Amino acid sequence: MNKYPEDSKTTLTDLVLPSETNPLNNLFGGELLARMDRAASIAARRHSRRIVVTASVNHVAFNKSVPLGSVVTVEAKVSRAFKTSMEIVIDVWIEDRESGRRSKANEAIYTFVAVDDVGHPVPIPEITPQTDLEKERYNAALRRKQLSLVLAGKMKAKDATELKALFE
Ligand SMILES: CC(C)(COP(=O)(O)OP(=O)(O)OC[C@H]1O[C@@H](n2cnc3c(N)ncnc32)[C@H](O)[C@@H]1OP(=O)(O)O)[C@@H](O)C(=O)NCCC(=O)NCCS
């Protein structure tokens, strides 16, 4: 069965409370990682309809601090499905209180694996990107998977053909 990134779209909106901030009164990085992990796991579950586990956090950019009291929206979507693993791209937005205008605060890329009841990886549906952004993210996902596997010591650099092509 084929699915679309939109099928997995997951949006979590919540406030930043005092217990979730650092001494500068900005959102603590670990709290944002947890929110992103939660949204990504729901997106992975929506795509696979399976139990899913976080295999890797491939990229996180804390570009902008998120002040106390902010309304934070975390949006997660599966960008590419492989055999048993999925790449999830997460965009984080904050909302201006007066205008309601959203600005991009952070982004991250996680890898989830679908597993059976005893934790063994199981196959997942294919995905077809539709928008230009979805296609761009889909096309770059194999390189990121290879980089993640090389860094984890699960793939030899010489076998990371898509990744190597970037430098040739
Ligand atoms: C994730 C996990 C299921 C992978 O199991 P494994 O025995 O390595 O299984 P495989 O080697 O068959 O890998 C399964 C898939 O994950 C991918 N994968 C594994 N490690 C990866 C990594 N570091 N980065 C990207 N992809 C990875 C593999 O490429 C494979 O993808 P594919 O089937 O789509 O091609 C296993 O390591 C696990 O259960 N980890 C703990 C997960 C967890 O508890 N997370 C929460 C942490 S608190």
What pLDDT does residue 69 have?
Answer: 94
Distance CA 4, CA 17 (A): 35
- Counting residues of the chain whose pLDDT is more than 70, the rounded percentage is 100
- Nearest residue CA, atom 20 of ligand 1? 55
Delineate the domains of the chain, giving CATH numbers in brackets: 2-127 (3.10.129.10)
Which two tokens mark 79? Answer: 């960008």
- Nearest residue CA, atom 19 of ligand 1? 55
CA 133, 7, 29, 23 torsion-angle sign: positive
Per-residue model confidence as pLDDT tens digits over 78-108: 999 999 999 999 999 999 888 999 999 999 9
What pLDDT does residue 163 have?
Answer: 87
Judge whether residue 122 has pLDDT over 90: yes
What pLDDT does residue 162 have?
Answer: 87
Judge whether residue 127 has pLDDT over 80: yes
User: Which strands form 71-81's sheet, in the order they lie side by side?
Assistant: 10-15, 71-81, 85-95, 102-115, 51-61
- From the CA of 113, how far away is ligand 1's center (Å)? 6
Judge whether residue 113 has pLDDT over 80: yes
- From the CA of 138, how far away is ligand 1's center (Å)? 19
Q: CA 22, 23, 24 angle in degrees (round to 5)? A: 90
Atom of ligand 1 nearest to the CA of 148: 24
What pLDDT does residue 93 have?
Answer: 97
**Using 50, 70 and 90 to split pLDDT, how confident is the model at 166?**
confident
What pLDDT does residue 117 have?
Answer: 98
> Which residues line the pocket of ligand 1, CB cutoff 6 A?
53-56, 82-85, 111, 113, 115, 119, 121, 145, 148-149, 152, 154
Residue to mutate, 56, 85, 88, ligand 1, most ligand atoms under 8 Å from C-beta: 85
Q: Work out the mean pLDDT of the chain and round it to a whole number.
A: 95
- From the CA of 139, how far away is ligand 1's center (Å)? 21
Contact of 107 with 94, CB cutoff 8 Å? no
Whole-number Cα distances in Å, 82 to 27, 85, 141:
33, 5, 10
* Secondary structure class of 116 (helix, strand, coil): coil
Atom of ligand 1 nearest to the CA of 83: 34
Task: Indicate the pTM of the whole model.
Answer: 0.95
* Secondary structure class of 28 (helix, strand, coil): coil
What pLDDT does residue 131 have?
Answer: 98
